[in-house]
Amino acid sequence: MEITAVFAKVLRDVALGCDVTYDNFLYDDADVVKLLHRARAFVRKECSPDRVDRMRIRTNIVDSFLRSACRECSSAQPRQVVILGCGLDDRAERLGLFSQCHVFELDVPAVIRLKERLSVMRTGTSRSRLVPHRITESRGWVDALCSAGYSTAPCTFILEGLVMYMNRSEVESMLRFIYEIAARGSDVLFHTVSTASAAESSEYCFGTDDGKGLLERAGFCKCRRVAYPAQQGAMSYFVCGSKQ
């Protein structure tokens, strides 16, 4: 589990051209630095330019969805952002979301511990509310989110690179819970691999060609595929929906 989070972070750093050395004084934790170096050596050796490009495109889609969701927000009218299966991504910082949003990032406890170490090493603090909890079919993760301060304000939920590691009933119940706790005016961005990609992969548990139907059955409306280059979309794609 931690490995997928480290891999996604390093692949994104390479894709965005972030020339991170991982060993400057801010990353002064030997274990974390070693892990990041090993992951980066792997990405540089094993990942095709096409794979790196897919990560760049995927990242741009999520970034622009979040930017536009948060465009109208201000510190007086903050929006909530919930990133489920957040991994080690530092999107909230990269996009400067903290001045206008309350950001919650949820992942399994081991990843959140590592994320906390990275954020503290990088900036001296963690400005997101980090929620260490596994998403299962039960509502434990929802309760943990509410205990962390999730409120009734409209929210943007981001599910990027997550559902392929869950089983179908976990995915369906997660979407129902999201719908239940979302205020009107909330929206969701759902990223999935196709059925064929999941079937071919030893890594993925879940894939669907009907992401739009999944969101609709959970209650969301205005569901639509987000524009994605056709070649990339054959492997994975995004669907968004909202609660009116």
Ligand X SMILES: C[S@@+](CC[C@H](N)C(=O)[O-])C[C@H]1O[C@@H](n2cnc3c(N)ncnc32)[C@H](O)[C@@H]1O
* Tokens 């090993």, located at residue: 38
Alpha carbon of 188 to those of 63, 78, 161: distances in Å? 13, 17, 14
The interface mask with ligand X, positions 6-45, x = CB under 6 A, is --xx--x---------------------------------
10 Å CB burial of residue 102 (0-12, 13-18, 19+) is: buried
Nearer to ligand X, 105 or 187 (CB): 105
Q: Residue 33 CB, nearest distance to ligand X (Å)?
A: 19
Nearer to ligand X, 87 or 241 (CB): 87
Q: Return the residues of window 95-154 that contact ligand X according to CB under 6 A.
A: 107-108, 111, 134-135
- Report the alpha-carbon distance of residue 83 to residue 115 in Å, rounded: 13
Phi, psi for residue 4 in degrees, rounded to 5 = -65, -35
Q: Residue 242 CB, nearest distance to ligand X (Å)?
A: 21
Q: Residue 192 CB, nearest distance to ligand X (Å)?
A: 12
- Please check whether residue 85 is in contact with residue 161, taking contact to mean a CB–CB distance below 8 angstroms: yes
Q: Residue 244 CB, nearest distance to ligand X (Å)?
A: 26
Nearest residue to ligand X by CB is 87
Using CB under 6 A, list all residues that contact ligand X.
Answer: 1, 4-5, 8-9, 12, 85-87, 89, 107-108, 111, 134-135, 160-162, 165-166
